[in-house]
A and B are shown apart, each in its own frame.
Chain A
Amino acid sequence: MSERRITLAVNGQRHDITVPVRRSLADALRQDCGLTGTHLGCEHGVCGACTVLVDGRSARACLMLAVQAENLAITTVEGLAPDAAMLHPLQQAFANNHALQCGFCTPGMLTTLVELLAENPSPSAAEVRVAISGNLCRCTGYETIVAATLEAAAVMRGEAA
Chain B
Amino acid sequence: MSVFGQSVMRLEDAPLLRGEGAFAADIDFPRQIHMRVVRAEMAHARLVSVDVTPALDLPGVIAAWSAADVAEVPPIPFRATKVRGLEPYCQPILAQGRVRYVGEPVAVIFAEDAAVAEDAADLVLVELEELPALLDAAAEPTDFDATRNTEPTIVRKSYGELDAAFRDAHVVVALDLAIGRHSGVPMETRGAIARYDAAQDVLELHGTAKKQHWNRDEIARLLGRAPSSVHLFEGHVGGGFGVRGELYPEDLLVCLAALRLRRPVKWIEDRREHLVATNHSREQRHRIRAAVDAEGRILAIDNVFFHDQGAYIRTHGARVADMSAGLLLGPYRVPAYRATGHFRLTNKTPAATYRSPGRFEGSFVRERLMDAIAARCGLDRVEVRRRNFVDVSEMPYARPLDALGTDVVLDSGDYALLLDKALARFGWDARVADVARRRAAGESVGLGLGVFVEKSGLGPSDGVRMTVDATGAVELVTGAASVGQGVETALAQIAAAALGVDYRRVRVVRGRTDRIEFGSGAHASRVTVMSGSATHQAGLALAALAKQTAAALLQTPEDALEIVDGVVRRVDTPEGASVTLGEVARALAPGTKLSRDRATPGLTVESWFHSDHMAYPYGVHLAQVALDRGTGQVKVEHYLVGYDVGRAVNPMLVEGQIAGGFAQGLGGALYEEFRYDERGQPLSTTFADYLMPTIAEMPPLDILVTEDAPSPLNPIGVKGAGEGGTNAVGAAIASAVDDALGGRGQVTQLPIMPRDVLRFLAEGAA
A-side interface residues toward B, CB under 8 Å? 1, 20, 22-23, 30, 35-44, 46-47, 49, 76-78, 80-81, 87, 91, 94-96, 98, 100-107, 110, 129, 132-146
Contacts and interface: CB of A to CB of B under 8 A. Distances in A.
B55 to A, nearest CB: 16
Contacts of B663: 138, 140-142
In the complex, the 9 A-B pairs of residues with the closest C-beta atoms, listed nearest first:
A37-B19, A102-B484, A103-B16, A104-B238, A141-B659, A77-B19, A46-B687, A36-B26, A142-B695
Nearest to B695: A142
Given A81-B18, A102-B239, A139-B239, A43 B270 contact: yes
B486 A101 contact: yes
13 contacts: A38-B19, A44-B687, A77-B19, A87-B18, A100-B13, A101-B486, A102-B483, A104-B238, A135-B695, A138-B186, A139-B484, A142-B663, A146-B695
A141 to B, nearest CB: 3
Contacts of A141: 656, 659-660, 662-663, 698, 701
Contacts of A105: 187
Contacts of B9: 95-96, 98
Contacts, number: 166
B186 A98 contact: no
Given A77-B18, A104-B188, A132-B695, A143 B687 contact: no
B416 to A, nearest CB: 28
B659 A44 contact: no
Given A49-B187, A137-B187, 18 more contacts: A30-B26, A37-B19, A39-B25, A78-B19, A95-B14, A96-B9, A100-B13, A102-B16, A102-B237, A102-B483, A104-B186, A104-B188, A104-B238, A104-B484, A139-B484, A141-B662, A141-B701, A145-B695
A143 B188 contact: no
Given A77-B19, A103-B12, A106-B16, A40 B25 contact: yes
A6 B464 CA distance: 51
B635 interface: no
Contact of B17 (A23, A42, A87): A87
Interface string B14-39: 10111111010110000000000000
A76 B19 contact: yes
A134 B270 CA distance: 20
Contacts of B695: 129, 132-133, 135, 142, 145-146
A30 B25 contact: yes
A39 B17 CA distance: 12
Interface residues of B, number: 50
Contacts of A106: 16-17
A143 B659 contact: yes
A49 B655 CA distance: 24
B187 A140 contact: no
Given A42-B271, A95-B10, A141-B698, A37 B187 contact: no
A44 B25 CA distance: 17
Interface string B655-686: 11001101110000000000000000000001
A36 B25 contact: yes
A142 B660 CA distance: 8
Interface string B176-190: 000000001111110
B18 A102 contact: no
B236 interface: yes
Contacts of B664: 138
Given A37-B21, A43-B270, A141-B698, A103 B236 contact: yes
Nearest to A95: B13
Contact of B692 (A39, A49, A138): A138
Contacts of A137: 187
B694 interface: yes
Contacts of A94: 13, 17
A130 to B, nearest CB: 8
A133 B696 contact: yes
Nearest to B698: A142
The interface centre, meaning the residue of B25, B238, B486 with most chain A CB atoms within 10 A of its CB, is: B238
Contacts of A47: 187, 271, 687
A20 B484 contact: no
Contact of A103 (B17, B25, B115, B701): B17
Given A41-B271, A133-B694, A139-B239, A101 B17 contact: no
B348 to A, nearest CB: 21
B271 A44 contact: yes
B187 A104 contact: yes
B621 to A, nearest CB: 14
Given A46-B687, A78-B19, A103-B16, A41 B701 contact: no
Interface string B558-601: 00000000000000000000000000000000000000000000
Contact of A101 (B484, B687, B688): B484
Given A103-B236, A138-B239, A143-B701, A98 B656 contact: yes
Contacts of B485: 101-102, 139
A42 B239 contact: no
Given A98-B653, A104-B186, A141-B660, A37 B20 contact: yes
Given A42-B686, A47-B187, A37 B238 contact: no
Contact of B188 (A38, A102, A142): A102
Interface in B615-631: none
Contacts of B17: 77, 81, 87, 91, 94-95, 100, 103, 106, 110
A93 B67 CA distance: 51
Nearest to B17: A91
B402 to A, nearest CB: 32
A141 B25 CA distance: 25
A81 B686 CA distance: 33
B241 interface: yes
